[in-house]
Each structure stands twice: as structure tokens, then as C-alpha cells.
Structure 1
Amino acid sequence: MTNVADIFARITPLDTAYEKLAQERQLQLTKPTGSLGRLEDIAIQMAGITRNVCPVIKHKAVVVMAADHGITAEGVSAYPSDVTAQMVQNFLVGGAAINALARQANAEVAIVDIGVATDIEHPDLISRKVRRGTANMAHGPAMSREEALQAITIGIDVLDTLAAKGLDLVATGEMGIGNTTPASAITSVLLNIPVARVTGRGTGLNDQQLTNKVQIIERAIAHNQPDASDPLDVLAKVGGLEIAGLVGIILGAAARRIPVVIDGFISGAAALVAYTLCPTVREYLFAGHVSVESGHRFILEKIGLEPLLDLHLRLGEGTGAVLTMHIIEGALHTHNEMATFGEAGVSNKE
């Protein structure tokens, strides 16, 4: 098991020397300066992350962390908690949206049971269950601090295992009925924003159900009194196991200088926790998209990330993040394969 505290020291700022070299290359490519917009920024950031002037992505993966939530007993989701395990089975046989998009992107799909309430047997499942779902945070902490740390450590270990096989880009994904509720709670506490402003309809709640969801989150925060200055306390008291696992994926990737594409609101909550623990993490992140869940925009603004897509997605699973892999690869293909003015014999008026 990895010591989480040791990870922070391994997360260092991007290498500015390689960023400068990549920027100089951009100035020599056969195009007006800045004409490829954010694709240029992506290529430069990737050079700083990887310490390679011309980075290449050969191995991609999306890690889907799955867990259940005791808070579903309070009617915060339009779907029953049984759907978590059912969808994990669907992932494992390749039938979900994330599977289709990952096939298109040629990305591995790693499914991790970190806290599903029922047992799942499948040779491709990474079974690292901390407990059978969180407790009902409306009546007490979702989990202990030790369980939250264990889940983070599992995320780091999963990332390390993938990296050992080769990993150049990782996306975060999740599955857990009811998990927009802890994501909203985490966002509200860490950003000091009223619950109603960061809580959305999740799986499709009506107005009455949404009002109930807001009230349940407010009750959970009031009952547990999470300490906003201690992100691990917030994660344990009002978070989720899959969110904690994704914190580990993000920290582990940054420590290995592997870029991370974060998905929607749930992944955003994990990124917010990771960023609060270690602000340098931000330099290794790309925001795949912005979710229709209202809290997501607040998270991205706090971390300082601009989403690459806005497609009104709210599925999770890593879908928006995997779609964005194409954009990042496109940025690198232009950066690496375009001719310079000198190579092409094209005049550079600058």
C-alpha cells in the first residue's frame, strides 16, 4: 500500500524548460501564431507535464470507480441503488456508453469495485471493496477517515498498476447511484457555497425531489459538521468511496507526470479534494467538459480549469473525459507533425 502523505512530495510543478521549447516550436509551425488556439496551449502543457518537447500518446485508459451510497435511502435519486451493480456488469460486458466511446478512442476501460453494496464476480473486474457502500450521511459520517484514506490509496495503487503497463493519458470515470449528493455536499463545504446553488437534478429528479435532495444534503452537513479546512474530513463525512478512489487516481497520476482528463461533476468533486490537498495537481489536469450539474462550474472556476467541451452531458462514467482525449491527441498531432516554416519553404512574416 502506498503512503498517501509521500505522494504530495512527488507532485512537482510542470517543467518550464520543456514548456518554453514547445512554445518555440509552435512559433515555427506553418500557421499564424495562436491560430490553433487552445490546441497550442494543450501541446505546451503536455510538454511541461511529460518533459518531452513532442509528446506522444500511445496508451490511454479510463478508470471507472464504482460504489454505493447509504444516502439513497433518503430518496435523493430517481434510480434504486441496485442499478450500481447492474451497470458495473454492463461495463464489464462492454455495453455502456463509456465502453462505446473508449473503443472509439482506443482506450482501456478499468472497472474498480471500491464500494458496491453487492458482490460482483468477473475476471476483468478490479475488486478492491473498502466496504459495502457508505453509511447514510444524513445520520452520521459516510465513512471513517481511515476508510477514506484507504480508498485514496487504492486509487493510487490502481494508477500505479496501469502505469506499469504503460500509460500516457488517463481519464476519470465513476458509477454510483446517488453520487451527485455527496458531490454537492463536498462542493458546498469546500467552496462555502449554499447547497441549493451547487445541487442539480442528478438522474432526473422533479422539483419536489430536488427540494428534498437539497434539504437532505443540508441536514447531512449540519449533522456531521465537516471541517472545510480539512478536505479528508469532508471526504469522509459527506463523500463517497468512488470519489475518494478518484482522488487517488488524480494524485497518483500527477506524481508520475501523467496527464489526467477529469470528467463531470463527480470527478470534479474528486479533483476539488485533490486540489485542496495539493494545489500543484491542477497543472496536470484537463477539464474534459462542463456538466449540466450546477456545482461543476463552481469547481472548475475554483481550480482554474476551462472545459474543453460543453455538450450538456450529465451521464458520468468518464464519457466526456474520453471524448476529450481526441482533442488532446489532435493537439499533439498538429504540434508534432506540422512542418516548420523552414522545412516547408514557407515565408514567415514574423
Structure 2
Amino acid sequence: MSQAAPYTPAGPDQPTPRPRRTRLLLVPGGIVLLLIAIPGATYGFAENQLSQAQGSEAHGAYGQALSEYGTAETVAGNPVSRVLLGELADRAKAGTAETHYRWGLQLTEQTKFADSETQLRAAIKSGIADWAVRGNAALADLFYAWGQSLVADKQFQAGIDKYLQVAGVDPTGNLTASTNAGLAVAYAGFAQWYLQQQPIDYPNALIWYEKLVKDFPDSADAKLAQASSLPQTLYNAGVAFVQQMRFQQARDAMTEVVQNYPKTSWATQANAALTAKQPLTGLLILSDANPTPVANRLIRIASHWKIVKAHTYDDSGGHIYQTTTDAKGNFSIPGGVPPAPNYLVTWWDPSRSTFVTTFLSDNVPVNQVTVNPLEPAHTTVATS
């Protein structure tokens, strides 16, 4: 059995479907040109600044060169531009370091030392190894020249301070010998400066002479000082120390003259001073608990003594110094006594008609006094 074909009613023709097209984003031509032109313009500007900086540097206009290098580095070295202009930024940075260095050298020659230090330290901090090395070497030269200039101007302490800064920036020691020679001259000059003051300042002169001999013993300045100035200064410093009541320092100075410079006339004078008699004064009282002065009482001081039995002494065989207390119990030995340890002090006891003293123990007298060289001595003596 056959079937009829499906019936399609007549009607208008249907349009054939057309494929879809992708739309293009149209960018105005001016914007495209601007995007292309910006890197080129930036490069050209930075390159121009770099060229101007190099010209300024070549003509010694270092301040202007630094400004121009800085502009070039800022433009070419920012995060956006560095991708394309990094090489320009690096050249500007190197140019900045070199300019600081060359300006520092010029300022050193012009003796503008503080300004020079600023420029050289900027070169060192650039982060570029080569300029850091050169900057340190130039800074060492700067400190050396600065020290020389200050010492020549008799600003000795400031000059010494600058000399001492050389070693910190001179790791290879290129300037060690010349710096040490400069320091020796400065030490000697400082000592001589103190000797030229009115009144003469022997103690401070001695400080610098002794530092000279200690730190630079082989220098010509040290040998010259030891041959003449130092022994004389030692002796006179000792005299000054006595006047200032700095007795131990006085003894040390005089002893050093005697021991280290025995053939000089200053050693002879120092030895005489060390053995000279010193004033000896005292006060006689009843006791520590009752410090009433004992007036008009004979005092006896013996340079040699010995214990013969418990609480008994013998002061014969040495020198005896004798005096009398005044109305207030004070006494003194006319003309003084030679420096010596452990003089024995006794006093007249009318009740026993003899000289007596008190004892700490069977064989240790209480009242002993040591007289040191160059120093007056004083003692308080209690009768009980």
C-alpha cells in the first residue's frame, strides 16, 4: 500500500542563512602614533640630558652635571621606563658617581676639604664598585692632605684626628708610612707648642713627647726629642706636678729622667729632687676619742729603730729629729727630713721622764710616719 507524499503548501521563498562576521576594534590613528612615540620621546629626552651632563662634567661644571645626570636617571630609571631605557639609566648612575669623584678631587686641590669629603663619600655610596674603590683612595689622600694643612696651621689636635682617619679608608696601607711620619711631626709640634705657652705647660708637653716616643720610636722627631727636649720636659713637668700637688706623677717623672736619661744634667737635678728633705709636720693629741691638743711637749722622730722586747724600742743608731709642740699641739721639723719609710714618733712623758710611744701589739708601734719624695708629710699622734 502506497502513501502519499507530504504536502507542502506554496509560499514565499525563505532567505538562505549568512555566516556571522567578527567585528574589528578600530583605534584612532593618533593614539597609535602616541603609543609609539612616547618611548622614543622619553629616550630622546633622557639621551639629551645625559649628553648635556657629560658636557657639563667635561667643562668642570660639576654641580650642573649632577643635576642633569639626576634628571636622566630619574626619567630612564623609573619602573615603567627601565624596561626599555635601563642602559641609559645605568650610564647616568655611573656618570653621577664619576662626577662626585672628580668634583671631590678638585675640591681637595682647592683645600676645600669638608666639601671634598661630601663628594667623595657620595661616590663611595654610589653602589658601583669601581668608583667606591677610587673614592676610598681619594678620601685617604684627602684626610692626609687635611691633616697636613691643619698641623701646618698649628691646629694640632684636629690635624692628628684627620691623620688617624686615613687608615680607615686605606686598607692596602699605601699611605701608612707617610701618615705615620705626619703624626710624628704633629706630636712633636704639639709638644713644642705647649712649651711656647706662657706660662709654659710642661705636663701637656710631656704627654705628647711620651706619645711620640711610644708610638713612633724610630722617627727622627722621637730621636731628637730623646736627645734634648724630653729629659728637660720630664724634669720640669715633675716640678710642675709638685706645684699642682700631683705628687705621684711628680715622682714618676723624676724617676723616669734618672732611669732613662742618666747621663743628662736633668737626671742629676731629678736625683737631687728625689732625695731632698721634705717638710714634716704633725699634731699631738691626747687620744682619738679625746682630740685635745697636747701643748709644749717634746717630740722625737727617729729614722732608725728596733724592738728590743715587748713594748720596748731602741731608736739609737740613726738620725734623731727633735722639736716641741706649740700651744695648739702642732709641731714641725725645722729643715724637714729625708724621704724614708717608717719614721718612729715618740714624745716626752714627764711622769716617767722618758720618751714613749703606743703600740698596736708587742712589737708594732702605732706612731710611724713615711715621708715620700717630693711630698710634704703630716701625721697626727695620739698619746693614748
Q: Same fold (TM over 0.5)?
A: no
Q: Choose between structure 1 and 2 for higher RCO, CA contacts under 8 A separated by at least 6 residues.
A: 1
Range of TM-score over shorter length: under 0.3
TM-score (ref. length: structure 2) = 0.21
Between Structure 1 and Structure 2, whose CA radius of gyration is higher? Answer: 2
